[in-house]
Amino acid sequence: MTSLASFVRPPRIAVWLVDLFAASREAESLLGDMLEEFSHLASKSGVAFARKWYWRQTRNTITHLAGNAFRVAPGLIAATVIGGLLLHRLVSGLPERAIFAVLHRYQVFDHHFSTYVFFATDGIAIGHVIASMLVGCVVALAAEDREMVATMTIGFVLCAITGAAVWAWVATGQTFFLGALPWYFADWFAIVVGGAMVRTHRSAATILSSHGGFH
Amino acid sequence: MSGRDSLGEFEHIIVLALLRLQDRAYGVTVRQEIESRTGREVSIGAVYATLERLETKGYVKSHRGDPTPERGGRSKRFFRVTAMGVAAVNRTQRALQSMTEGLDLIPRYS
């Protein structure tokens, strides 16, 4: 190992992505193996080559780990995805009801109309995103070690449903507000973010407990 | 597990790599052994995903080594083939031999 290799680190985002998809008991050794080969390649063939190799390994590794999750734990993935979709359906109306309850309680419509408009439009959309993120967290907590696969599957299902709905709107010539489009797809993204938050927290806790904070 | 399962192609290759490497078998050496002998690029994720399946089936066992600084304080995970794994390799080898017996593969299909 050269002194150069000891200072070079693999791309942080790539390391984080692999850590998200690896089962917690194999993440440590898997990332250690990738770092070992990366350091060796960096000293032998240069940092740019090693980084390119690391990204290629990351892409292929994530694909295999995600595919393997469906083969090893299909029941867990199916249960968490169905449960997550039901939970999402259950909570998706809550932000709207809660925001309007508060707006009516404090008579915001009469006294602060612009505030009312903000909460009745963007406020509800933000509430939906927060509720979706919480659903993602709950699903990730239930799908231990398969957090990203479970939340991403829910995300893909919701994305497909939303895409079909938007297509149906456009096809039937109904009024469609293009500016709202990002909000329509924000729910699935928020669910995946929730999954990533739980997984990142779990990984940090695992590293701390196994090494007493050593990095 | 029935104990009568044959190994898939990549599972077969991985178990053979573990048998070749013996007590030096961990992610890096397994991946490099396969690449050098088969000439195909293998991702570390494919190796771990297959090893996880083999461990679930009882064909492979693993244990952790000590953390090392050059691996960022991360430990190695060493793998070894169990008696069930050896039996599965033998079954798969026999099945392949039986299927290829009498076939003149080289001139006709290569």
Structural domains of chain B ordered from first start: 9-96 (1.10.10.10)
Residue B73 in contact with partner chain A when CB distance is under 8 A: yes
A20 in a structural domain: yes
State both tokens at A204: 């940090």
Q: How many domains does chain A have?
A: 2
The 10s digit of each residue's pLDDT in A56-108 is 999 999 999 999 889 888 999 999 999 999 999 999 889 889 998 888 888 88
Asked if residue A41 and residue A132 are part of one domain, the reply reads: no
Contact A29 B67 (CB under 8 A): no
> Binning pLDDT at 50, 70 and 90, where does residue A118 land?
confident
Q: For all residues of chain A together, what is the average pLDDT?
A: 87
Residue A3 has pLDDT above 60, yes or no: no
Establish if A181 belongs to a structural domain: yes
pLDDT of residue B106: 67
- The secondary structure of B55-100 as a DSSP string is HHHTSEEEEEEEEEGGGTTEEEEEEEE-HHHHHHHHHHHHHHHHHH
Q: Tell me which chain B residue has its CA closest to the CA of residue A56.
A: B43
pLDDT of A111 reads 80
Per-residue model confidence (pLDDT) at position B110: 54
Task: Please name the member of B28, B67, B77 whose beta carbon is closest to the beta carbon of A36.
Answer: B28
Tokens representing A157?
Answer: 């299902």
Q: Last residue of a domain, which of A51, A71, A91?
A: A71
Give CA–CA dist B97/B87, Å, rounded: 15
- CB contact under 8 Å between B49 and A62, yes or no, is no
Domain containing A19 equals 3-71
For B24-61, the pLDDT digits (tens) are: 999 999 999 999 999 998 999 999 999 999 999 999 99
Please report where in the chains the tokens 């408009």 appear, as a residue.
A117
Tens digits of per-residue pLDDT, A9-50? 999 999 999 999 998 888 989 999 999 999 999 999 999 999
Residue contact B44–A57, C-beta within 8 A: yes
Is residue A27 located within the same domain as residue A83? Answer: no
Q: Is the pTM of this model over 0.80?
A: yes
How many Å apart are CA A198 and CA B39, to the nearest integer? 39
Q: Are residues A66 and A144 in the same domain?
A: no
Q: Is the pLDDT of residue A214 over 50?
A: no
Same domain, residue pair A92 and A63: no
Q: Does B67 touch chain A (CB under 8 A)?
A: yes
ipTM, two decimals, is 0.86
At A10 the pLDDT is 94
Asked whether the beta carbons of A180 and A114 are under 8 A apart, the reply is: no
